A = this chain, B = another copy of it.
């Protein structure tokens, strides 16, 4: 079927682009990319260079260039670089020279492909078919197959090798380029400027279909290339297999040797053998992660597109952050934000718990960074970085936005006042624990994080004695347009929850791991009176309550006194289209217009509000929300579903889930910043909207609850979840819910749908009528 933007799908497992729009190369490069959590390779053409935003971003290569504004992941030399010439005429996609164009992404197996027929200026027609994948079996490998044939006897010149002239957002990260040729491979070894990480990109080549008449190595500035000349007959098919190995000194001690060995083995085994192993891995993942939608093929493929990206941008192999733009480019520094726990994580908690555990263990690994940040700002415990790279050191700069009217830098305080990041992580830990029952995680990691976050809150909070309540002052909630507010409802509720979790963890360890508790408390130098302080704050922290008449929860102290207007109204006040709307002088600051859901976000994460409160607040805040954050539509979808606003929930689902796929922006720069890349949080949120929104799945007191309300066009929804290590298969129609507890599960599970509940033994299947 036809989708938007020259896209189509046939089975719901693929995205096929049937027309090429050179204005959309930023978006399509991201959308059609391949990746495996270790590296991401953009869906660009093999013949392209830095100007077309070709990039291969590798995890764990954080670097700050000299004079560079931000620390970010490196874009490493591009070893898929391949140009084919006929009479010095470069094969590429230009409007008047191509036909039969298709570029696509096979979501099932993470495979990019391009097909096209190209006519040289001399009248030679070349048929091209190329494919690539980033191996899930060996994360350091990318494989490309490049096949071509001409319609006439002719000479073809192929330039292929490693292009080290890479694009970088914030300065040059790589220095000391070594262009190396070994038996069977070519390589570039280079070193990052800040920490001296060695990066080795090695390429091996296998040619079939014709013996080259020339085959030379050419060295240029930051490039090592093969120049291969073929004299081909009409219709003679030539296939090049490129096998690329990428290692850094953060991965292994001898990255060059390891990469060379890997590439030589891969070349010896061949593309197909690698692909078989790669596909097996994908089969395993999709078995648990896939969502089947019947009745709407477009929603099916959109959904898989988002699940795919939430997978490939997550370093499932390691304890490293999920970048806000994943591995799709350097935007947002390849660093984790609160998005990671609140948006990316839930899918993994329920479909791939081992990865969820990794993601949260990453926060354990970065505790020292969080402790250092707290100390630097005058607090105790763990204050997590707003922008968190490998070590958890704060990567967010004090000055991020520019006042486009004056040209002056603006001092924003995301890194110092957006304190909800710490309780958000504890919230996520508790979500993980409730779904998985992984007590070992709590003992090993979770308790320490929760204790340190509790300690941070104790040192951050103020007691208002005259009102007998604790207050959190000068914070930023999810709505970033209003900085430095007091008693942000979202933040206060999250802080209280985090303290409750700390108390729960304390009890759990007391009961089940008293020695570890003693050791932990001693190591953290925490006394029992600290636990009393947590309880005191839990008892007395100010939680803005719904108004008895209007049911409204005030976003922060004084919010309702601000000018009550609408995004479209204040947009007229812009004097420059790129003005930042928020602090300190943006057009939204003095108004009730918010960037994204804030009280709505609270309603998304906390299930204890009555229906009328959810509805009233959704109605009130929705119209005041600019959705200036890509996180906003998804949370509105989720809460609209909770509120019973099915049409609105579906509309927001579509908006959120197509934020990248249907992006149509000629503009890639904003206020001096490159914008682009995959909104990984929106990808993760797609799973949440469907499973936690439309299917209404939640866990409460040892019970799995479903409250489904499918979008009108969907006839059936199927997915799987893990609940405390038991795998369940769920199939929801408009009138029924079928739940199967997979044979081999370890225990009985209680499932509740509406008023009915059922205890399923392993192998049982339960049917509920809606």
Measured CB to CB, the residues of A under 8 A from B are 378, 380, 403, 405-408, 410-411, 458-459, 461-466, 471, 473-474, 484, 533, 557, 575, 583-585, 589-590
Known: A403-B585, A585-B584. A462 touches B463 (CB 8 A): yes
The answer to whether A458 touches B462 (Cβ under 8 A) is no
Closest approach, in angstroms, between the C-beta of A731 and any C-beta of chain B?
A: 52
CA of A575 to CA of B407 in the docked complex: distance in angstroms? 10
Known: A473-B474, A474-B473, A474-B474. A408 touches B462 (CB 8 A): no
Q: Which residues does chain B contribute within 8 Å of A410, judged by CB atoms? A: 585
Neighbour of A462 across the interface among B378, B403, B405, B473, CB < 8 A: B473
CA of A510 to CA of B19 in the docked complex: distance in angstroms? 91
Q: Which residues does chain B contribute within 8 Å of A462, judged by CB atoms? A: 462-464, 471, 473
Most interface-central of A378, A405, A464, A466 (chain B CB within 10 A): A466
CA of A589 to CA of B408 in the docked complex: distance in angstroms? 13
Given contacts A406-B585, A463-B465, A584-B585, 7 further A-B contacts (CB under 8 A): A380-B466, A405-B405, A406-B406, A408-B585, A411-B589, A459-B466, A583-B584
Q: Which residues does chain B contribute within 8 Å of A575, judged by CB atoms? A: 406-407
Q: Which residues does chain B contribute within 8 Å of A584, judged by CB atoms? A: 583-585
Q: Which residues does chain B contribute within 8 Å of A583, judged by CB atoms? A: 584
The 5 closest A-B pairs by CB, nearest first: A462-B462, A584-B584, A463-B463, A459-B466, A405-B406
Closest approach, in angstroms, between the C-beta of A749 and any C-beta of chain B?
A: 43
Q: Which residues does chain B contribute within 8 Å of A407, judged by CB atoms? A: 575
CA of A458 to CA of B464 in the docked complex: distance in angstroms? 9
| Chain B, residue nearest A579 (CB) | B406
Q: Which residues does chain B contribute within 8 Å of A406, judged by CB atoms? A: 405-406, 575, 585
Closest approach, in angstroms, between the C-beta of A733 and any C-beta of chain B?
A: 53
Closest approach, in angstroms, between the C-beta of A535 and any C-beta of chain B?
A: 13
CA of A72 to CA of B575 in the docked complex: distance in angstroms? 33
Copies in the complex: 2
CA of A463 to CA of B473 in the docked complex: distance in angstroms? 12
The answer to whether A533 touches B585 (Cβ under 8 A) is no
| Chain B, residue nearest A455 (CB) | B466
The answer to whether B471 touches A466 (Cβ under 8 A) is no
15 A-B residue pairs with CB within 8 Å: A380-B466, A406-B406, A406-B575, A408-B585, A411-B590, A458-B466, A462-B462, A462-B473, A463-B463, A463-B464, A463-B465, A465-B533, A473-B473, A583-B584, A585-B585
CA of A408 to CA of B591 in the docked complex: distance in angstroms? 14
CA of A405 to CA of B408 in the docked complex: distance in angstroms? 11
Q: Which residues does chain B contribute within 8 Å of A411, judged by CB atoms? A: 589-590
CA of A449 to CA of B465 in the docked complex: distance in angstroms? 22
| Chain B, residue nearest A403 (CB) | B585
| Chain B, residue nearest A576 (CB) | B406
Q: Which residues does chain B contribute within 8 Å of A533, judged by CB atoms? A: 465
| Chain B, residue nearest A458 (CB) | B466
Closest approach, in angstroms, between the C-beta of A529 and any C-beta of chain B?
A: 11
| Chain B, residue nearest A558 (CB) | B378
Closest approach, in angstroms, between the C-beta of A32 and any C-beta of chain B?
A: 42
Closest approach, in angstroms, between the C-beta of A485 and any C-beta of chain B?
A: 11
Q: Which residues does chain B contribute within 8 Å of A466, judged by CB atoms? A: 380, 458-459
Q: Which residues does chain B contribute within 8 Å of A458, judged by CB atoms? A: 465-466
CA of A15 to CA of B736 in the docked complex: distance in angstroms? 98
CA of A406 to CA of B484 in the docked complex: distance in angstroms? 23
CA of A459 to CA of B468 in the docked complex: distance in angstroms? 11
Closest approach, in angstroms, between the C-beta of A499 and any C-beta of chain B?
A: 14
CA of A589 to CA of B410 in the docked complex: distance in angstroms? 11
CA of A405 to CA of B404 in the docked complex: distance in angstroms? 11
Closest approach, in angstroms, between the C-beta of A710 and any C-beta of chain B?
A: 46
Q: Which residues does chain B contribute within 8 Å of A484, judged by CB atoms? A: 484
CA of A410 to CA of B557 in the docked complex: distance in angstroms? 20
Q: Which residues does chain B contribute within 8 Å of A408, judged by CB atoms? A: 585
CA of A458 to CA of B557 in the docked complex: distance in angstroms? 19
CA of A411 to CA of B410 in the docked complex: distance in angstroms? 17
CA of A589 to CA of B585 in the docked complex: distance in angstroms? 13
Closest approach, in angstroms, between the C-beta of A377 and any C-beta of chain B?
A: 9
CA of A461 to CA of B473 in the docked complex: distance in angstroms? 12
Q: Which residues does chain B contribute within 8 Å of A463, judged by CB atoms? A: 462-465
CA of A352 to CA of B326 in the docked complex: distance in angstroms? 75
Q: Which residues does chain B contribute within 8 Å of A465, judged by CB atoms? A: 458, 461, 463, 533
CA of A405 to CA of B533 in the docked complex: distance in angstroms? 49
CA of A34 to CA of B736 in the docked complex: distance in angstroms? 92
CA of A380 to CA of B465 in the docked complex: distance in angstroms? 13
CA of A444 to CA of B613 in the docked complex: distance in angstroms? 51
